[in-house]
Amino acid sequence: MRGWRGAVMAGLCVAALQAAWAQDRPQLGDDAAAQATAARYLGDWRPQTLDPSRWTPTFVVAADGSGTHRTLQAAIDALPAKGQGGSAAPARAYVLVKPGTYREPLCIQDKAPFTLYGRGDAAEVVIVEGRYNALPKARGAVAHRCMPLLDAETFGTPGSASVMLFSDDVQLARLTIANDAMDHVADGKGYPPGVGESGGAQAVALMTRGDRIQLEQVRLLGHQDTFYAERASEDLASESRVFVHAGEIRGDVDFIFGGATLVIDDSVIVSRAGRRSPGQGGVVLAPSTPDGVPRGFLVQGSRWVAEPGVAPGSVRLGRAWDRGVKAGEWRRSPSTPNGQAVIRDSQLGPHLTAWAASTSRRPFAATGEAANRMTEYRNVASTAASPAASRDAVPAAAFDAIAPGDGWASMNGGTAGGAKAKVEAIRVVRTRAELDAALALGDTPKLIALAARIDLAADASGRPLGIEDFRDPAFDLDAFARQYDPATWGRRPPEGPLEEARKRSARRQAAQVVVKVPSNTTIVGLTPDAGFDNGSLMLEKVSQVILRNLRFSDAYDFFPAWDPNDNGHGEWNSEYDTVSLREATQVWIDHCVFDDGARPDPREPVVLGQRMQRHDGLLDITRRSDFVTVSWNVFRRHDKTMLIGGGDGHRDDRGHLRVTLHHNLWEQVKERAPRVRYGQVHVANNLYLAAPAGDYPYAYSIGVGLESQVLSEANAWEAAAGIAPGRVARLLKGDRIEDRGSRFNGEPVDLVGMLRAANPDRSVAGEAGWTPPYRLSIEAATEVPARVRAGAGTGRLW
């Protein structure tokens, strides 16, 4: 088409596309968006900031018997009932759940206000069941204690719930709630009897029916109908408000649904791959808000991502759940379901497409008598960066290099890792074999997008390997303890057949669990739980490595070494850091989570008079490593957390070990956050949570070691009662530290003055002796707690 006719036709096409977009993806104007806020949805309720480090548990749940109760249901049953105690409002109870997997259907009904929580990462506490809609049951049998459904012959969708929360004023924090009924179904095959693509597979992880329910750092995992947020009453004036913050919700069809008023803030919503037949799409939201209720679902500031294998444009944003309405019979009235939802200020992945027709086949429409109430505001598209990335839904941010000014790793030419990987070197990895194949590319620029949690101590079939799989037949710990008892052996280092057998055992374990990362590599987690368990990533004599959005947990040493002279009385020394840098340069570690998992060292046995140590560092940077930035990570549940500079005798570290640590969260860590020798280390805008009890009671944060030059800027410590500000730093043969603007429990703190007072015989220089050659933006310490809590850890990149 040419001339004026072509111009007119082109204009008509654009107008038609804009009209279609307005119908399929209606957008709020600024005035309407001002009414679509969390404050409007939640009304007079303001959720609290939840910080488990400050709570004293009323009950402790531990499957091993080390708590007050072995099961969650027993602890919940022991809580007072709603209204018990007269007119006075009862004090909130706190139920701590120790790490582990709790397989039980949990009923929480009409209880006084309480908080159910874990102290570490949400993945450490898993509450799971495997019931589903079509699962048969005898008529008269109870489907669920909270909802018996006695007349039914199947469990139904509600009866499938792993957890039913039918109570007001309940807080859940740092937990995983899952329904694994369909985990073994693949590509539409393997469904149990009575289940198929068209029905019966609904399997709820969490069902709520109450008001003022708050979820903080909670993971909800399932497939179809993962999260059921229901109204507590048919009274349209009643409130049923649920607030989800910093969580993860994972499923494939209608996996966030119900009639409650639900606000999801700063969370990750993951569309799952694998269960359904090829070509089948998915749906995310399915609100059933009554037409007379103005507010249903609000999702704001969140990241909508997909597992690899979910095709672009295959998942609908949502559809109205016209509950109880037959096809073609929907008519408007105040009590008629007419789902309301707003998605705003969020990042939407390429797997998403427009809203779908309702469950009663009411076509999606933005206007008219049967209009749907689903809109968007100021969302942005998250696009892929290469043909291979597009095929496997790798977000563009996975290819990021470190930004200019972002600490030491931005210097010396910067750190790009595998950002320049060619298509054939972009690998989506789900198994150890795929990981090994990707790393075998050597120093070729490569991007490894991790789409799974890989157990590094598992064989090719996925079977976890334990001590007996690695133990040399000649090694026996009891015999070792008798042989090298200092009372008879003395303080000589162990030698002889038993020690040689221990070393052979250790080498067998190391060959399995240590993964060597080559140069020019980016490893990035595609989903919030991607990462590595039971092993160690070794960066040795390499350059240009980026690790982002990964979880590292439990680098457990079955065969630690005994040093009879360590600390004068002897110590066990483990071998594996979750991540170790040795002669590594240009390294960026960002938005990761590090911890000891479910096997903390304080629970290990005492052998040779000392408790066995199974974990070394979480992240150690030694042996002339240089130009490293560690940013926006979470370090928790560990003893000797981060070592920068491996020993006083490593004098060749001089001029190296230039490291920046900024915006990291340190929680339930005992010490070394970091402990520095020789290096020029910049510690800025970190948040330290110090508690005197638990498996890892607080000792100190910053260790000033031999010839170190530490610059501390605007860090924040939040400490429990009994911890004095003088404990935050410790002189360890070093004498140089500078601090600018840090705070302890909100008040200014003088780190240098306290060190001088605690060490009157030492000269402490109050200047680091160097100035950062980069321009890192430093925030005031008063802003650090909120910023770090909101931004550190996995699930924050897209």
Active-site residues: which are they?
672
Is the distance from CB of 178 to CB of 162 less than 8 angstroms? Answer: yes
Give the residue from 176, 60, 57, 64 showing the smallest Cα distance to 599.
64
Per DSSP, 530 falls in state: -
Which residues, at least 6 apart from 89, have a Cβ–Cβ distance to it below 8 Å? 113
Bond into 560 cis (ω within 30): no
Q: How far is the CA of 546 from the CAs of 354, 412, 525, 563, 696, in angstroms?
A: 35, 15, 11, 35, 29
Long-range CB contacts for residues 596-600, cutoff 8 Å, separation at least 24:
596/553, 596/554, 596/637, 596/638, 597/99, 597/124, 597/533, 597/534, 597/553, 597/554, 597/556, 597/637, 598/99, 598/100, 598/124, 598/554, 599/554, 599/556, 600/637, 600/695, 600/696
The token duo for 320 is 């109205």
Is the distance from CB of 115 to CB of 95 less than 8 angstroms? Answer: yes
Backbone angles phi, psi at 158, to 5 degrees: -60, -45
DSSP character string of 247-263:
-EEEESEEEEEESSEEE
Which residues, at least 6 apart from 216, have a Cβ–Cβ distance to it below 8 Å? 50, 171, 172, 173, 174, 245, 246, 247
Beta bridge partners of 377: 344
Beta bridge partners of 675: 643, 703
3-state secondary structure of 524: strand
Q: Give the separation between CA 377 and CA 533, rounded to whole angstroms.
A: 39
Burial of 790 per CB tally in 10 Å (0-12, 13-18, 19+): middle
3-state secondary structure of 432: helix
**What is the chain's Cα-based Rg?**
28
Is the distance from CB of 570 to CB of 560 less than 8 angstroms? Answer: no
The pairing of strands 253-258 and 227-230 is parallel
Q: Give the separation between CA 214 and CA 144, rounded to whole angstroms.
A: 23
Is the distance from CB of 691 to CB of 662 less than 8 angstroms? Answer: no
The token duo for 467 is 């001590």
Residues in the chain: 798
